[in-house]
Amino acid sequence: MMRRLVTALALAASLSGPVFAVQPDEILDDPALEARARELSKGLRCLVCQNENIDDSNAALARDLRLLVRERLVAGDSDEEVIAYLVDRYGEFVLLSPTTGGWNWLLWAAGPLLFVAAAGGGAVYLRGRARADAPTEARLDADEERRLREILDRSDR
Amino acid sequence: MVTELGHFALILAFLVACVQAVVPMIGASRRLPGWMAVAEPAATAQLLLVAGSFAALTHAFIVSDFSLRLVVLNSHSAKPLLYKISGVWGNHEGSMLLWVLILALFGAMAAWFGGNLPPTLRARVLSVQAMVGVAFYAFILWTSNPFLRLETPPFDGQDLNPLLQDPGLAFHPPFLYLGYVGLSICFSFAVAALIEGRVDAAWGRWVRPWTLLSWVMLTIGIALGSWWAYYELGWGGFWFWDPVENASFMPWLLAAALLHSAIVVEKREALKSWTILLAILAFGFSLIGTFIVRSGVLTSVHAFATDPERGVFILAILVIFTGGALTLYAARAGIMQAKGVFGVVSRESALVANNILLAVACFVVFVGTLWPLVAEMAFDRKLSVGAPFFNMAFTPFMVILGLLLPLGSLLGWKRGKVGRAMRQLAPALALAVAVGALFWTMQTGRSLLGPIGMFLGTWLICGAVIDILSKLGQSRDLRRLARLPRADWGRVVAHAGLGVTMAGIAGLMAWQEEDIRAASLNEPFTVGAYEITLLDVQRIQGPNWFADQGEVSVRKADGQGGEIAHLYPQKRTYPVAKMPTTEAAIDYRFLRDIYVVLGDRQQDGGWTMRVYVKPLANWIWGGAFLMALGGALSLSDRRFRVAAGARKAAPAKGVPAE
């Protein structure tokens, strides 16, 4: 039993060849609908893959999702309705671009917020530098004088 | 036998590193020259021992010694020699051995070329470098030993992941590691300077070559990886914002920031404390990258190891080193006082803007990469953060960076004049606007991406040309161009390279054409301006794979002229690893690639085919190459050769040739 299972799995692995990402038979006849399907697919995650969208993925599940997206579009759903339908079925994990709901606003705002803070900090620093007094150069101590001479001698050679 | 010697050499290297971590540090604080002098021979000995250890492992892979567990898991006797060798680092244990090899290499280089450093600083740098080494030797010896034997060796190995059997990927990890690990030297310099309590212009000058070197290597490594993804994964994507890619991209961004801020330290003795912080963070992000890749905490294609023990170990290394350095920084940052005084409009402030933009961009990537983890642990939400997020959140900062760059590089030190710089740049701006507008009117869609990319690309490239011409002064004698300092050339080549890459990315993303169909033999079809014909499909046999190979002819769609290209896309199967791969056939040209992929056989005898026309695809890697070239030119500048004088002065120490 066990051995047969292993053989079957091995066989399945060797036969499940590179199923293509989007297959010719999936493509819709209406180019406008197909274009929308492609655009939507790029923002949807293949749930069993690692960080791949369903448009690029070779996995069988991705194909199912692609067909599902097209089915909904043919049925007359708007883009938002298709997304809502998929989120409803698979959870927000399916969205490659996370929503802004809940604490997610922090994810979206993190960059701009830090940028504003850093620009402010930078401006304060620059004004400080512009107003600072020119430094009085400290004289080299004896040790530094000697090292300086050493280095200068060396690079002359 | 050789394997045992390699194992033994690795243990010895660990012990030498322990000595090198402790003795010179004590020597430096008590001013004991003999103790400090231990560092240099120890660093050399470490390198020799690790190199021996690495050579032993490589030997085991080359002779296909299947009594070694690692060789069984990652090699096969029928594999070509190149991939037997690259198999050494195509797995977790071997790649960590490569990591310590490069760590030891950089340590030894710092010892050899650090002749003009103050003895205490040098001893401390080498000691900190050895501490990092100790941690990673321990990691390898206790959790990821590559030298484990098998009691009953199998007849043959299980082969390397076929996706990794590729020239681009064979050299991708070594370059990436040279970059990652090179940043350890900057980290060691930063920590040593904090202990020393002294950061001056000389410190900036010592750190900059190491940063440049790491950044050049990271650039090459990332470009190779991205190029590999482009031609190997079968749909011509070049960047996926995968956690593992981000892991290498974050140190790259910070290294770019660091090499610019070190200029300010060197020339103007300002931004010292920020530069130290960047040096710590840059290596910190290398460690975070290692943690992400090695622990598999954010699962992705590259995660070979999903063993939590290893993840926890690396997390501990990360916390101890970054945390320790940051604590030291918090305690000592106050002693670093800026000296340089400069106006709000100046080269200095342009470099501050550069640093803010690069650091914030890095932060965006960091937050985006870790957010799924945060959301799951803190809010119990399972969500994904993918390419659409990064494209939207990251790109604006790069656009601002591109807009400011030509202006900033023309501003004078101390006090610049925007008006003067803008007058110089007027031709570049006019041309860039014209090019952007031209593409805006030519394209059919309403996407702004293409025109903006073309605008930025032209602006950056022309800005770089104006930058180098402005160095000629009033004379306008073009013969003097060749005699300009290499650092000037490096700067403009790298900046122009950024422009080329930006134009390439925008062109590819905005104007790619695609065709997916079931193609019948000898029935031409049109994709964009080209006519494609599938002539034949044959079964062929390689050394450790077999494939269906198509023969495809490409002509102009208008029927003018002869054949443009004859392409052979393959669909390969590696029987040992039981894995199929697609080998796309690509006709590379300056302005576009034609990218052909062969798929499955259809029931009616036709074949699935995907054909893409990818405008400006080569520009992405061409620009990266220019950036690396610019870095290398800068690195070869005379002013970094003060160390060269030291080397000539002390040939007796057995310094190897450059």
Write the secondary structure of A78-138 as one string of H (helix), E (strand) and C (coil). Answer: CHHHHHHHHHHHHCHHHECCCCCCCCHHHHHHHHHHHHHHHHHHHHHHHHHHHHCCCCCCC
Nearest by CB: A92 against B383, B582, B642: B383
Residue B220 lies in a domain: no
**Could you tell me the residue range of the domain that residue B556 belongs to?**
513-617
Q: For residue B562, tell me if it sits in a domain.
A: yes
Q: What is the DSSP letter of B165?
A: -
Token pair belonging to B561: 């002229």
Query: Would you say B315 and B221 are in contact if contact means Cβ atoms under 8 Å apart?
Result: no
Q: How many other CB atoms are found less than 10 A from the CB of residue A47?
A: 17
Q: Which of B381, B400, B509 to mutate to test the interface with A (most CBs of A within 10 A)?
A: B381
Identity of the residue in A51, A127, A154 whose CB atom sits nearest the CB atom of B386? A51
Identify whether B554 is part of a domain: yes
The answer to whether residue B658 scores a pLDDT higher than 60 is: no
**What is the nearest CA distance from B649 to chain A, expressed in angstroms?**
7
Residue A156 pLDDT: 59
Say whether A97 and B388 touch across the interface (CB within 8 A): yes
Give the count of alpha carbons within 13 A of A46, CB side only.
Answer: 23
Q: What percent of chain B lies above the pLDDT cut of 90?
A: 47
Which of B130-134, B186-190, B227-231 has the weakest average pLDDT? B227-231
User: What residue of A is the nearest CA neighbor of B648?
Assistant: A154
With CB atoms and an 8 Å threshold, state whether B341 touches A130.
yes
- How high is the pLDDT of residue B397? 95
Smallest Cβ–Cβ distance between B384 and the set A27, A95, A115 belongs to: A95
φ/ψ of B550, rounded to 5, equals -90, 155
Residue spans of chain A under pLDDT 70? 1-20, 133-139, 155-157
Q: Which amino acid is at B320?
A: I
C-alpha B43/C-alpha B195 separation (Å) is: 20
User: Is residue B156 situated within a structural domain?
Assistant: yes
| Nearest CA distance, B520 vs chain A (angstrom) | 13
- Supply the mean pLDDT for chain B: 87
Q: Say which residue, B639 or B657, is predicted with more confidence.
A: B639
* Cβ contact, residue pair A51, B394, below 8 Å: no
Return the ∠ at Cα B358 (arms to B355 and B363), rounded to 5°. 120
The Cα B418–Cα B411 span in angstroms is 7
CA distance A123 to A117: 10
Residues 6+ apart with CB under 8 A from B353: A122, B404, B408
Cβ of B389 within 8 Å of Cβ of A98? The answer is yes
Q: DSSP per residue over A21-56, as a string? A: SS-GGG--SSHHHHHHHHHHHHTBB-TTSSS-BTTT
Bridge-based pairing state of the strands B546-556 and B563-567: antiparallel
Residue type, B168: G
Angstrom distance (rounded) from CA B394 to CA A110: 11
Tell me if B438 is assigned to some domain: no
Per-residue tokens: B550: 């198509």
Is the predicted pLDDT of residue B442 greater than 90, yes or no?
Answer: no
Residues on chain B touching A115 (C-beta within 8 angstroms): 356-357, 360, 397
Is the pLDDT confidence value at B591 over 70?
yes
Whether the CB-CB separation of B186 and B216 falls below 8 Å is answered with no
Radius of gyration of chain A (CA): 31
Rounded Cα distance, B312 and B143, in Å? 11
> Quick check: B388 and A43 CB within 8 A?
yes
Q: How confident is the model at residue B303 (pLDDT cuts 50, 70, 90)?
A: very low
Length of chain A: 157
The pLDDT of residue A108 is 92
More confident residue, B381 or A112: A112
> Closest Cα of chain B to A46: distance in Å?
10
Give B297's pLDDT tier (boundaries 50, 70, 90): low
Which has the higher per-residue pLDDT, B579 or B592? B592
Closest-CA distance of chain B to residue A49, Å? 8
Distance (Å) of CA B156 to CA B75, B85, B125, B376, B545: 8, 17, 46, 43, 16
**Which of these ranges, B304-313, B332-341, B417-426, has the smallest mean pLDDT?**
B304-313
Q: Could you tell me if B545 and B573 are in contact, meaning their C-beta atoms sit under 8 angstroms apart? A: yes
Distance separating alpha carbons of residues A86 and A41, to the nearest angstrom: 11
Does residue B656 have a pLDDT over 80? no
Q: Which of B364, B389, B610 sits opposite A20 (nearest CB)?
A: B610
pLDDT higher at B36 or B168: B36
Say whether B300 and A51 touch across the interface (CB within 8 A): yes
Residue B404 has pLDDT above 60, yes or no: yes
* Opening angle at CA B490, ends B489 and B496, nearest 5: 90
Q: Do residues B491 and B409 lie in contact, with contact meaning Cβ atoms separated by under 8 Å? A: yes
**Mean of pLDDT values over B218-247:** 87
Domain final residue, candidates B126, B141, B160: B160
Within 10 angstroms of residue B192's Cβ, the number of other Cβ atoms is 24
Does A111 sit within 8 Å of B360, measured CB to CB? yes
CA distance B326 to B162: 42
Residues facing residue B386 across a β-bridge: none
Report the pLDDT value the prediction gives residue A14, as an integer from 0 to 100: 36
Nearest beta carbon to residue B116 from set A123, A127, A151:
A151
C-alpha distance from A75 to closest chain B C-alpha (Å): 24
List, in sequence order, every residue forming a beta bridge with B519; answer none if it has no partner: B607
Asked whether the beta carbons of residue A52 and residue B240 sit closer than 8 angstroms, the reply is yes
Q: Which of B118, B371, B397 faces A107 most closely, judged by CB atoms?
A: B371
Q: Note whether residue B349 is domain-resident.
A: no
Burial B247-281 (b: 16+ CB within 10 A, else e): bbbbbbbbbbbbbbbbbbbbbbbbbbbbbbbbbbb
Helices in B144-200 by DSSP H: which ranges?
Answer: 167-196
Beta strands B607-615; B585-588: pairing state: unpaired
Interface contact flag, B384 A13, Cβ < 8 Å: no
CA distance B171 to B224: 8
CA A47 to CA A38: how far, in whole Å? 17
ipTM of the complex: 0.83
The C-alpha atoms of residue B129 and residue B185 are separated, in whole angstroms, by 7
CA atoms within a 13 Å half-sphere pointing along the CA-CB vector of B557 = 8
Averaged pLDDT, B64-69: 89
Determine the pLDDT at residue A154: 74
Whether residue B397 is contained in a domain is answered as no
Last residue of a domain, one of B143, B160, B177: B160
Domain edge (last residue) among B111, B143, B160 = B160
pTM comes to 0.88
Separation CA B281–CA B253 (nearest Å):
11
Query: Inter-chain contact B575–A14, Cβ cutoff 8 Å?
Result: yes
**Residue of B379, B386, B582 lying closest to A102 (CB–CB):** B379
* Confidence band, pLDDT 50/70/90 cuts, at residue B645: very low
Residue B346 lies inside a defined structural domain of this protein: no
| Structure tokens given for B575 | 């029987």
- Residue of B238, B366, B389, B601 to mutate for A, most A C-beta atoms under 10 A: B389
pLDDT winner (highest mean) among B39-48, B64-73, B470-479, B634-643: B39-48
Query: Domain containing B583 — which CATH number?
Result: 2.60.98
Cβ separation A157–B648 shorter than 8 A: yes
Q: Look at residue B298 in the predicted model and tell me its pLDDT.
A: 65
- Checking if the pLDDT of B654 tops 50, the result is no
* Overall number of domains in chain B: 2
Is a pLDDT exceeding 70 seen at residue B226? yes
Chain B residues closer than 8 Å to A118 by CB: 356, 359-360
Strand partners for B551: B536
**Residue scoring higher pLDDT (B452 or A148):** B452
Our CA-based measurement puts residue B384 at a distance from the nearest CA of chain A, in whole angstroms, of 5
Q: Which residue of A has its CA nearest to B642?
A: A155
Contact A48, A59 (CB under 8 A): yes
Please enumerate in sequence order all residues whose Cβ is within 8 A of that of B35, keeping only pairs 6 or more positions apart, or say none.
B23, B24, B26, B27, B28, B123
Tell me the CB-side half-sphere exposure of residue B548, using CA atoms within 13 A. 18
CB atoms within 10 A of CB B149: 13
Instruction: Name chain A contacts of B518, Cβ cutoff 8 Å.
Output: 24-25
